[in-house]
Structure 1
Amino acid sequence: MYNLYWSAFEKFRAIPPITTLTENTEFCETVQQMLDAHLIAIPQLVMGIAEAAPQHMQPRQADRFMNEMLRSRVGRRVLAEQHIALSAVFEGRREQDEGWIGIVNTRCVAEDIVRRCSELVKERFRESFPGLEPPEVEVDGQLDATFVYIPDHIDYIIFELLKNSMYATVKAHAPEALEGAGSGLSSSSSNSGTETASGSQ
């Protein structure tokens, strides 16, 4: 893990100031390669914490370390992905859909997000608990509400909230249905459309 981040730092440090579009394109390619290489970072970090934390860290310290690590990781990836996306649009390598600014959707529809994520959670629920039908998710309120957000991130958040709520609902109202069916629903960044903060992010 240390070598992964040190290597990325050394590559960035060696890049001279960017003065042309060609240099920016090359820079974006380098950044994308780093983003791809760092997809393994969180799984490796989680594995390392699980193995080492019980002997060397208190649970609260481990939680704080992971939270800080994930926050900084999400921030770096957002900056990198936004720069790559805006550069691609500016250079004509990609069309920008209406309502989007880079990776940011200025018109996220709350109802659509909740309904899409609820279907993914139901699918995961049925896989985890064969023969058990998941609770229904009712969407009410201001259904046409829109807001500005990064879709992958809000999808991950809503997916996790609904996943935990659905399992807790069944556990509270029909605990016998979960007997012998495992300990709960597992997370999946691929199913929720994110890298994990998984990141997302």
Structure 2
Amino acid sequence: MAANKIAKGVMEEVQKWGAMKQTGVSLLYMMEFGSRPTPRNLLISAQFLHKELPVRIARRAIELDSLPYGLSNKPAVLKVRDWYLDSFRDLRSFPDIKDKNDEFEFTQMIKMIKVRHNNVVPTMALGVQQLKKDLNPKMDYNDLDEIHQFLDRFYMSRIGIRMLIGQHVALHDPNPPPDCVGYIHTKMSPVEVARSASEDARSICLREYGSSPDINIYGDPNFTFPYVPTHLHLMVFELVKNSLRAVQERFMDSDKVAPPIRIIVADGLEDVTIKVSDEGGGIPRSGLPKIFTYLYSTAKNPLDEQPEIDLETATTMAGYGYGLPISRLYAKYFGGDLQIISMEGYGTDAYLHLSRLGDSEEPLP
């Protein structure tokens, strides 16, 4: 395929599918449907994905082709667009799914698609960096609002696509862990997930700085609710990592003991809220809007050093500033939110709200 031009027939097909309506599913629905992974249900699930995935993927391919400021022509973005087009073609050329055999073949194919898209986030980050190099450095990032909104839609859609594929694939596990329905843990303890995410963040802090503040967790470890532990782990890991870094850098050359980071887990009727509090000096109010943009990071992109890392598992203390905006999308995906409240000169509180009801539809961009 030529670098920039897409065959006319393919683009027409993509346009046709991109115009169709997407169908959102809720956590509750995925949980109830997946709790009986009979061959018939797996067949229904595969037939749904066979129709749904091309619609979602086509929408992103169309957008990737028409981004402002010439972002669509950046080599990294062209690469991502080609992954989306390849996946669209794979899905569209797969015949109707009629029996167990078809379903098995289809599942193998969507597994491959998921792997193909592993590096979408860092590759898009690279594309945005390629763009930033060309733009006037004095340009106000608020002018890049369009790009920011696109990335929000794009990454939110990606979370949904990966959740649907991952959920379907996981339902094939012959020995699922107890209380798990695919990716969903029906009795997830937020305190336990917070503990494991904190330990991961702490070990990275130790590796990078040689020491790490303590982390204290408050909440009932026996309290559970249905959620996707990998999503929660990713969000808490990100928040704790930011707090550790702030505290570590503030107290590095001080003779005072670094104050601990506090994590509080509260269970309300509608929401489970996790608060991560640090005394890392806070963020000035003028800087707060920037922390949720994709175009701002105080750290350098790890991709500059090692282009082939998989971001889902990448572990550096500071990334390319994508942790917070992407964590907020994960929270919103199942009806939650992420808010950051800061006291400059003292510290920062992050509030992660998770919907307890699990009945909100996916937000479909």
TM-score tier by shorter-chain length is 0.7 to 0.9
Aligned to 1:190: 313
Aligned CA distance change for structure 1 residues 96 and 103 (closer, same or farther; 3 Å): same
Aligned CA distance change for structure 1 residues 59 and 176 (closer, same or farther; 3 Å): farther
Greater per-residue strand proportion: 2
Aligned to 1:4: 83
Aligned to 1:23: 102
Shift of 1:54: 5.4
Shift of 1:170: 3.3
Shift of 1:185: 11
1:149 matched to 2:227? The reply is: yes
The aligned amino acid for 1:60 is D
Shift of 1:95: 1.5
Distance of 1:67 and 1:54 partners within structure 2: 21
Aligned CA distance change for structure 1 residues 161 and 112 (closer, same or farther; 3 Å): same
1:128 matched to 2:208? The reply is: yes
Shift of 1:134: 1.2
* Unmatched 5+ stretches in structure 2: 1-79, 136-140, 255-297, 303-310, 316-322, 331-365
Aligned to 1:180: none
CA contact (8 A) 1:96 1:102 kept: yes
CA contact (8 A) 2:191 2:219 kept: no
Distance of 1:32 and 1:149 partners within structure 2: 22
Deviation sequence 1:124-179 (CA, Å, 0-9, x none): 1112213xx2111111122321121112111100100111112223344x2636xx
CA contact (8 A) 1:135 1:166 kept: yes
Aligned to 1:108: 188
Equivalent runs, 1:23-172 vs 2, <5 Å: 23-53=102-132, 55=134, 58-86=143-171, 88-89=172-173, 94-130=174-210, 133-172=211-250
Q: Number of residue pairs matched? A: 183
Greater per-residue helix proportion: 1
Pick aligned residue for 1:13 from 79, 92, 95: 92
CA contact (8 A) 1:167 1:185 kept: no
Q: Percent identity over the alignment?
A: 22
The aligned amino acid for 1:164 is N
Higher normalized contact order (CA 8 Å, seq sep 6+, divided by chain length): 1
* Unmatched 5+ stretches in structure 1: 178-182
Aligned to 2:10: none
Distance of 1:141 and 1:38 partners within structure 2: 37
Shift of 1:113: 1.1
Distance of 1:103 and 1:162 partners within structure 2: 23
Distance of 1:99 and 1:121 partners within structure 2: 26
CA contact (8 A) 1:163 1:185 kept: no
